Amino acid sequence: MNKAKPKRLRHCNALAKDLNMTKFSAFLNDETGAVTVDWVVLTAAIVGLGLVVFTFIQPAISQLAEDIGSEISKAGSKMKASGTTP
């Protein structure tokens, strides 16, 4: 036996499908969060670029800091030897 759905029930199903498609279409067309996504991507790119630059600069900065510390230590030793410590 083939039971046909009543017209009213078929009409409700069609409306529900249309409503779901309308919501889905509205979701696809909604651009309110697009600016936030752009800023997140831009910020992540800047942070990543900073990390790459720091990776290349870090050895030179470490050596410079060691040289400065060594010179300060030498200056302190000379001041103590000459008796001119504050």
pLDDT at 68: 95
Encode the chain (86 residues) as per-residue pLDDT tens digits.
556 555 555 556 666 667 677 877 777 777 777 788 899 999 999 999 999 999 999 998 999 999 999 999 999 888 888 877 65
pLDDT at 12: 61
The full DSSP string for 36-48 is HHHHHHHHHHHHH
Every domain of the chain and the residues it spans: 7-82
Angle formed at CA 44 by CA 54 and CA 50, multiple of 5 degrees = 10
Q: What's the pTM?
A: 0.46
